[in-house]
Structure 1
Amino acid sequence: MTEKALIIGASGGIGAALVAELDRKGAEVTGLSRSGDGLDVTDEDSIAAHLGRLDGPFDRIVVATGALEIGGAVPEKALKQLSGISMVDQFRLNTVGPAMILKHGLRLLPRERRSVFAVLSARVGSIGDNRLGGWISYRTAKAAVNQVVHTAAIEIGRTHKQAICVVLHPGTVQTRFTEKYVGRHPAVPPADAAGHLVTVMDRLTPSETGGFFDWAGKPVPW
């Protein structure tokens, strides 16, 4: 049976690479994005309308939206740089958006067979792994979406016994999203990141639903 996949954020660096990788593997891929389809993940009505027009089930749904800078606000290096508006903007895009996609996308998952619902998060959203500080708004929004997915996985598991609902850290990827922040950190092209992420998703089991995994499939501390 041909896999059906849905990529939210299909015009971004990682999202477009995921579309290409899954297409290469023979999947029937549907992509949605702001630039291509007018999907605004900060607007629940937009999410409901776009997902409401789709016919499932989808074997794989990946939320590849997000941003490190919103409205010109760069990641904070100190508490004195915090802005309430910037924090809310981060939550709207990086936390509330994926939460609403989960809400309206649940009906698109099959009940009787394996499926994956993955949200791209970031290692900097890990509280246990945080040793450097800084980037408070972005870190907090990512930590919050990790909790959203973990909590949703518990509920989804009651009705979709073979569903795998996870957050994934793609590693540092060479995109416009990261070009100012890569520095000396090793980074991989989007195509490589997509290949790693698909491999991780393919190897996960329902017993691992609700987890947080990196690009190599290793658990990331909460």
Structure 2
Amino acid sequence: MEEEASATTRTLHLPEILEQILIHLPSRDLLLAQRISKAFQLTISASPKLQRALFFSPDPACPSSPITYLNPATGATSAHPRPQNNRLLLRAFPGVYPTVSPVLVNLPPTREDLALGRPGKEVWSWDVCISFPASPANKSPSDSSESSLPSTADPATAYPYASWRRMYLCQPPCTALHLVRRWRRSRLPAIERPGGITMGDFVDEATKGAVNGGVWSEGYVGSDRDWHFEGVVGEGTG
């Protein structure tokens, strides 16, 4: 029995073997596994594969479920991979959970399109949508003098080094979010990060009262007192 225990211990201290075991855990269990031992924590933090599974590192080619697109003009179908939602954020921010859904995107018209007087083609893409309370319940929507986390968030999320701050909203990461009001998307991004937007980026921008030099306006607050943001994930594919 002691020999078996010793063999198990030696195996779990081999980073390559431990990585292959941990990669099969659900994301929340993988995140909490860092508390088991220093060996587990070091293996998880040093493994690019496990860091991508925890949304700490970008994964441009993450496994995903496809969406089938029917081209009405040709009758042809094609499948496009679906980005992964970061379900770890659902527990930390139950009312501020980014969701990914399919959308049709109108591409700018080409020179040929303009010459023929037709619009740019429509392509399927994926859209990440996230909302954020404009202010605490006891403040008016226009008061942005203080930064605050959503009232629905777990108090533990207020820890300045909480792991959620480094997590991407989805995989592959979204690089730009546009403010949306009454189904109309702003032309310029409100939040933009070439390397991908993390939840920390989003919360900091949404609570500091100003983005890209402009102060939030009460007119942008929806009827549910939320800011609404949307951004395309990846490139559209026809």
**TM surpasses 0.5:** no
Scaled by the length of structure 1, the TM-score of the pair is 0.24
Scaled by the length of structure 2, the TM-score of the pair is 0.23
Give the structure with the higher percent strand: 2
Give the structure with the higher percent helix: 1
